[in-house]
Structure 1
């Protein structure tokens, strides 16, 4: 009978094979792509098991889960990937090193204040809305959050000049019902323009279980995978 560790080992092997094949097809090295394990609703025991299998980057999209799990595994690099209320910026700054979902000026101010208070530097990615890319259905459908592409330069300048923050690049989620390849091509263009002004902001966080191949084809440096690694999520507590 397989154990949870066996299940995770098998899933991780399959995920790594997908990443390798996607990189090969795109003419890229797998070393260019970081796997961020999204452990939303899963227990910290799964985080430890993944760490034992070589995972070093873990992400949460709820502040309360990040706060509960990160102190148990301080050797890992913790990413916050969800929508963030400014009032919870201090907790996220305390427990994470990277925030993928910076989408407004007020959050930049809150994260800067929190990072300074925690005496650390937070790497920040701008979450970009891709609603204008892909199918017309996506453009009028469910919004996945983020700043409009034409507002990226101004927000990037705010992050770059803020104390305690480092501008890392961009993040996006393909709109529901969209052509993910077209959506991520749009993100790739936004990322390229950002790098022309901020050469160090070279991360593209894109791609989840269903669309990691398209994301890697369009330059993703970080893919965020939950279901492919951990299986069907248990209900939120």
Structure 2
């Protein structure tokens, strides 16, 4: 356990240095960027260590892993983010622990989240997941709404009881015009965020960038970066 704490502390320090350097290079205050540690496939014991080390935001992408982990760590001062593609049959469970759902990408999901948030008397923060590799009318391969659908979906979230529109999220596309051009992709997301904030000024969260491209995300203006491997190590292979 002690060795693991030392390992995580060292990795966190490296990531912190990367974020600080990226902020300095972009002329941004370090306080403008929040680190979210993606703990998928790692045990609750790692989440406890991260909390001891000062981490306050953690993310999961599979409800079957996240629900028991969140329950085991319910005494910790953590904000839980759900970042995976979310099926409506998992909404009841996810609303039970997630403070924010970063992968809102269709009206059916908004309706289900709203109904459950009201039932559980919770307020759930929502980010619209944008698929920059999608055409104007279809969803991306890894979930997300096309840029042309952001406004309509955002308005739906903003009006939905129990939900709070917090901003936008994206995953750097592997195909299409932004493949291999992470910073351009994140700058496009920032343009969409500017448009969104004209109608919804409080929806100022921009979640972009992971272990490999957090510098590009910070340079573009992201407010939150989602880092897993660089903090926790290479994930064990799932059988």
Instruction: State the TM bucket, normalised to the shorter chain.
Output: over 0.9
Q: Does 1:55 align with 2:68?
A: no
2:128 counterpart SS class: strand
Residue 144 of structure 1 and its aligned partner are, at CA, apart by 3.1
Q: What residue number does 1:15 align with?
A: 15
Q: CA deviation at 1:73?
A: 1.7
Structure 2 spans left out of the alignment, 5+ residues? none
Number of residue-to-residue matches in the alignment: 228
Q: CA deviation at 1:159?
A: 0.1
Structure 1 segments, 4+ long, off by >2 Å, are 142-145
RMSD over equivalenced CA pairs, Å:
1.4
1:31-180 pair list within 5 angstroms: 31-74=31-74, 75-131=77-133, 143-176=141-174, 177-180=179-182
Q: Distance in 2 between matches of 1:236 and 1:110?
A: 30
Aligned to 1:137: none
**In 1, are the aligned partners of 2:158 and 2:164 still within 8 Å (CA)?**
yes
How far did residue 132 of structure 1 move?
6.0
1:3 counterpart SS class: helix
Q: Distance in 2 between the 1:73 and 1:218 partners? A: 33
Alignment check: 8 A CA contact 1:143 1:175 kept: no
Instruction: Give the 3-state SS of the residue equivalent to 2:96 in structure 1.
Output: helix
Q: Which residue of 2 aligns with 1:6?
A: 6
Match of 2:27 in 1: 27
What is the match of residue 183 of structure 2? 181
Q: Structure 1: how far apart are the matches of 2:182 and 2:141?
A: 14
Structure 1: 5+ residue runs without aligned partners? 134-141
Alpha-carbon distance in structure 2 between the residues aligned to 1:130 and 1:42 = 29
Task: Please give the TM-score of this superposition, normalised by the length of structure 1.
Answer: 0.93
Contact 1:34 1:223 in 2 (8 A): yes
User: For 2:168, what is the secondary structure of its paired residue?
Assistant: strand
State the TM-score, normalizing by the size of structure 2: 0.93
Q: Residue 220 of structure 2 aligns with which residue?
A: 218
Distance across 1 between alignment mates of 2:26 and 2:141? 29
